[in-house]
Chain A
Amino acid sequence: MTPRAITNRGWAWLVISGLSLLFGISAGWAELIGLGVAGLVTFGFASLYALFTHAHEVSFHLEHSRVSVGQDAALTVRVSNPTSRSLPGLDIYIPLDEEQISCEVNRLRRGQHEDIALPIPTEHRGVISVGPARVVRQDPLGLISREVTHGDAATLFVHPTTVPLMSMSTGFVRDLEGNPTTDLTDNDLSFHALREYLPGDDRRNIHWKSTAKTGQFMVRQYEQTRRSHLMIALDSDPGAYGASGGGTVKDAEYELAVSAAASIGVRAIRDTRDVSVWVSAVARPAELRGLSALRAAARELAQDVSRRRGKGFTPVARIRALSTISRDRMLDELSAVHAAEGSPTIVSLSRQASQNASDVSIAFLITGALVDLRTLNSAANAFPQGVEVVVISCAPEASPTMKRIGRLSVATIGRLDDLQQLMAKRVGV
């Protein structure tokens, strides 16, 4: 038995039993001697539990490693009995980030196995690390607890909810560096096919060689090529969110913003367009405990003091691009973003993003409802001339509106469905 197997309660039990025995002997108190002896004997019985381990084989796997918020995610735990005798039941705990789920296994006969499906709560977006499975062997009083881990940790991505959007055909047409789209036109760079002449077609597009061959007027068809680098900048500054209250309202606003960014990004990837998603590089503050938490608090305090005195400098808030290789990769990374103090403001975010991606043709700035028009305008001015800037301002429960100020469009969405309608309108513009 290793000392690690003794729980805090076990240590307290041991110390108090020992002390009462010693004090009882020195003061001649039979009551305390009785307590001490009984306590120590109980501890001895309890430590027998740590001597024997279980012989079960435990493994688990996730049914799906990527789900959207609210979708069912299940974990299957398989417990088998490899021995040639019957094994008693046991409790299995599987940690999900800070929480854990547990299941009981009943007595297993030899060679038998049991599959247990456990639901994983997916109410919130995030990256949940699942496992490894722990089997805890504990005495009834909780003095000794010995645990064995099985398997490796798996990762479950809970993606933001997305809505299907209509294809967005914006961007600069007829560009050598552009990508061909599926939209057909009669005048572009990427040749698609020949078709028969119809009244109204431009005579300049008649392909005379084919006409001579077939005896009918044939015109050339092209695919539109567009250089359309679509940029999505997601504001992660907590100061921008929470127009109608703090706390959960703030979270709801931010979730709406993430979902909007995810929907636009998914559409763009499906359209095989260049897309880049920029978010704050400020990592989510890790949960600290004990000494390191104290140290972090002290560092923060020192920084705060030096900032107030005007000494030192506040580091420039960095931004980072998310991977947009595939839909899943982008959504995986969007699952992990969080609004964090110290993130760049929308203006700083747009400036850095436009520096990093110079060939942008359309930029979506996704932010909360607390940002005023003047700030939005200066954020839009960070982009070069000719870039179309669309601000999507997320304010849950607000009615959807669309404002145009010069080249800047400000769309307010109250629900994710509003985005669908607004984007459908934009196509006509």
Chain B
Amino acid sequence: MRPLFIALAVLVSLVPLWPVYESPAFIVAAGAGAVLGAVTAVISARRRWSVLRTGVVTVVLYLVVGVPLAVPSGAFLYVLPSLNGWLTLLSGTVLSWKQLVTVAPPVGSYEALLVPALLLSWIGMLVGLSLAMRKPKTSWPALVPIVTLVIAIWLGSSRTFYAGWIALAVFALVALWFASARGASGRARTSLRAVGIVAGASVLALGVGTYVPVINRTVWRTSVEQAFIPQVDASPLAEYRRYVTGDLAKQTFVTVKGLSAGQRLSLASITTPALSTQSAAARLISPACPVRLPWRTEQVMRWPPR
């Protein structure tokens, strides 16, 4: 019963990742990761598995279900992993963290970008629940939701998303975990006081949060500077030629609604003549360093631009 507080806190701490994905695939991946982590932790605690055994079981499970959950594009019939999907999963385990913050949100279920969500919920739930069930008298389990919260924010969006509510939910769940530890003697008086203290602190913190403005949110995404080395990249014009005359000439590049036939769409414009300053436009037409367009965008593209 008591480990439920930690499990819920880990789940809540993943909410800051939602604006990055904004896709049902995220809920599937994070939810499945949480369920698998919880089941592994419960079985491991009941059967008194060693750390090594729990780790091996987790890795094997991850290899089996990782592709359909985290790399949906690499799965046959939604469940069977393809070789290509597996390779993407393996490389994504290491690389997708960086990729996630270099792709403009929302990223949806593109390639292996769901791997961080899956891993974070899985490992957070596994570690949190294992500690909560095996070392219930220590304070270590309470640290897990805070760590996952920090990682989720760090990987998350640069704009705030229900920050106060997430903070209070994590805080209240962690505090209740502590408060329920002393409930062993079965005194309702103590737990009522605990709820009172937590509620009072939450109200005060909300008040402070409302009146203190928070500015300059810095996350990984905001601090990533994509290195642009012209010598490494092919010339933008050569790339442009490939789009017009090469193999890519017949490929669907972008689908746009609302344009009438014959109208042109500006894909990119070089705003400054100096190519050494990096512009999204230069990267957009350079497949060597492609910029992934947001999974979907509400922005209405106008032509001709005003």
A-facing mask of B134-148, CB < 8 A → 1, else 0? Answer: 000001000100100
Roughly how many angstroms separate A12 CA and B138 CA in the complex, as a whole number? Answer: 11
Q: Which residue of A28, A32, A138, A142 contacts B167 across the interface (Cβ within 8 Å)? A: A32
Check B146–A41 contact: CB distance below 8 A. Answer: no
Check B209–A37 contact: CB distance below 8 A. Answer: yes
Kindly list chain A residues whose C-beta atoms are within 8 Å of the C-beta of B104. none
Check A38–B217 contact: CB distance below 8 A. Answer: no
A140 contacts partner chain B, Cβ-Cβ < 8 Å: yes
Check A142–B160 contact: CB distance below 8 A. Answer: no
Kindly list chain A residues whose C-beta atoms are within 8 Å of the C-beta of B187. 104
A176 contacts partner chain B, Cβ-Cβ < 8 Å: no
A208 contacts partner chain B, Cβ-Cβ < 8 Å: no
Q: Shortest beta-carbon distance, B196 to chain A, in Å?
A: 9
Check B200–A9 contact: CB distance below 8 A. Answer: no
- The interface-forming segment of B119-127, B168-176, B255-263 is B168-176
A interface residues (Cβ-Cβ under 8 A, vs B): 8-9, 12-13, 16, 20, 24, 27-35, 37-39, 41-42, 45-46, 89, 91, 104, 138-143
Q: Which residue of B170, B197, B217 contacts A28 across the interface (Cβ within 8 Å)? A: B217
Q: Which residue of A16, A33, A104 contacts B212 across the interface (Cβ within 8 Å)? A: A33
Can you name 14 A-B pairs with beta carbons within 8 Å?
A27-B218, A29-B163, A29-B214, A32-B149, A32-B167, A33-B212, A34-B206, A35-B146, A37-B204, A38-B171, A46-B197, A139-B193, A140-B191, A142-B178
Check A34–B200 contact: CB distance below 8 A. Answer: no
Closest to A141 in B: B178
Kindly list chain A residues whose C-beta atoms are within 8 Å of the C-beta of B146. 16, 20, 35
Known A16-B146, A32-B150; judge A42-B198 contact (CB<8 A).
yes
Q: Shortest beta-carbon distance, B202 to chain A, in Å?
A: 6
Check A142–B181 contact: CB distance below 8 A. Answer: yes
Kindly list chain B residues whose C-beta atoms are within 8 Å of the C-beta of A38. 167-168, 171, 201-202, 204-205
Closest to B200 in A: A45
> Given A16-B146, A33-B214, A45-B200, list of 7 further CB < 8 A pairs?
A24-B214, A27-B217, A28-B216, A31-B167, A32-B150, A38-B168, A38-B205
Q: Which residue of B149, B150, B178, B214 contacts A9 across the interface (Cβ within 8 Å)? A: B178
Check A42–B201 contact: CB distance below 8 A. Answer: yes
Q: Shortest beta-carbon distance, A116 to chain B, in Å?
A: 14
Roughly how many angstroms separate A34 CA and B12 CA in the complex, as a whole number? Answer: 14
Interface size on B, residues (CB 8 A): 44
Kindly list chain A residues whose C-beta atoms are within 8 Å of the C-beta of B216. 28
Check B171–A34 contact: CB distance below 8 A. Answer: yes
Top-10 shortest CB links A-B:
A34-B167, A30-B163, A140-B194, A38-B205, A28-B217, A41-B201, A37-B205, A42-B201, A28-B216, A31-B167
Check A104–B171 contact: CB distance below 8 A. Answer: no
Roughly how many angstroms separate A28 CA and B216 CA in the complex, as a whole number? Answer: 5
Closest to A38 in B: B205
Roughly how many angstroms separate A34 CA and B162 CA in the complex, as a whole number? Answer: 11
Roughly how many angstroms separate A387 CA and B251 CA in the complex, as a whole number? Answer: 112
Kindly list chain B residues whose C-beta atoms are within 8 Å of the C-beta of A32. 149-150, 153, 167
Kindly list chain A residues whose C-beta atoms are within 8 Å of the C-beta of B164. 30-31, 34
Roughly how many angstroms separate A12 CA and B178 CA in the complex, as a whole number? Answer: 13
B179 contacts partner chain A, Cβ-Cβ < 8 Å: yes
Check A142–B163 contact: CB distance below 8 A. Answer: no
Kindly list chain A residues whose C-beta atoms are within 8 Å of the C-beta of B215. 28
